[in-house]
Amino acid sequence: MQTGPLAELVIGADPLITDFHQREGASTWLRQFSRLRRIGHSLVQMKQLVKTLSADIDGEFFLPPKPEDEVDGKGFGMIQAARGGLGHWVSVKDGVVESYQIITPTAWNASPRDADGNHGHWEQSVIGLKVDDLENPLTISHVIRSHDPCLVCTVHMLPTGKSVRFGL
């Protein structure tokens, strides 16, 4: 599972990104390039959204719940955030939140092995990677950071039992 600009553009059949992906695979370079490419797509979509909303500028865009509405239920929301797919799941019982779960883009990309033993996407990205300097494994850092992980995840990458400074 991979989420983010590269995945979005491949799924959306963007001809440039799809061509690069077929030729080179999901490389660090292509993930970075896809971030830039997605900006253009986002601008086109935003322009269309503004045009659509402007057509009914006085319409009702939020309908507040009424007291007589049911107070139990389940809901979810999925959106393509800057880093990729973001999901929220909520369960309400007797008008009180019973459970709430968020799965972030970083959690999708950094996920552990699945039930069938398949490696998570970050793991797949670094398996077989040649690291020239074991004292400063900057190559690993570049590959992981190309997935645009949240800040907390980017600062916790250290070899087991060692303190290593990652150079820039």
pLDDT-derived band of residue 161, with 50, 70 and 90 as boundaries?
Answer: low
Distance, first Cα to last Cα, the chain: 29
Q: Which residue in this structure is represented by tokens 């087991």?
A: 160
Report the percent of the chain where pLDDT is more than 70. Answer: 86
DSSP state for residue 4 in the 8-state scheme: S
Q: How many CB atoms lie within 10 A of CB 111?
A: 17
> For residue 90, what are the β-bridge partners?
75, 100
Q: What confidence tens digit (pLDDT) does each residue in 63-112 have? A: 777 766 667 889 999 988 878 888 999 998 888 899 999 988 888 888 88
C-alpha dihedral (124, 128, 130, 135), degrees to nearest 10: 70
Query: 0.85 cut: is pTM over it?
Result: no
